Structure 1
């Protein structure tokens, strides 16, 4: 879809001196992601291509960098000597609401953890950037990602919990279980809940 859209924008003269913004999912794996990027690059150079995570646009997230690095009190104590662990929770009261086709292929790991929550983890754990430019912030995020301890096969049973919601009540109203949603596949084992422990191997 991205490639076709960019091609058509170019055909009608809307690709020159224009920026393009891509929101996830940008492919479903490394190979398909590269194909999307290559298709877009035919019409938009890298300096006019923006890949965004809309979670980073939330006001609270935007304020996180200022909270951390503009406040010397927080920055001097934002480390393992004063903080034992950080828990990031995203709790929603809604189901998939008609998104079965997309969600069942993605699951919570792809839909939330590998992008939104990983970005939040980086902002929470990164060292101060040289400046507030996109490149400097990206460089510090990459350092955090490289410091993440891989989860071993054994760790999948001790560090990761997956679940799937069943029928119940939300805000006092009955709601169907995941396997009872419209157009659902009753054999699906796609996770609608994930909890995992991530360990970061750096001085902080």
Structure 2
């Protein structure tokens, strides 16, 4: 079993709760991989897990941008707002089998073999309401940040500076009802 950090959106969490399983986008998740360990001179497992979590949170911003784009230009209806959901990053923590290391993509990237069952989910990390404006701003410029625009990188960094709140997997249905 491997502990993985799966980037998600609130819409994806609703699917997980309703269907009992979730498909990670392109099967992509993050984990403490051998390549990640080698890239850090020092750091214990908890520190390396934090790196994987932060990478998954960054990928969650990209998922929010995709949700908001609808395949074309971004609109105010996107980013979960159309469904009445606030714009927040989400990361699922799960224990899975069959995760394949993908160092060709990045140090912490793994490919999942299939869907993740809700019974495999240990916890979820989510932004709180205070992060929403920073998340919205980051979603608007995430592509530019990926291309090296320094102002956009700063904006994405502002969103990444917000700590994610931890929730046990059993709390997800109640948490989604409260949003």
TM-score (norm 1): 0.28
Higher relative contact order (CA 8 A, sep 6+): 2
Structure having the higher strand fraction is 2
TM-score (norm 2): 0.30
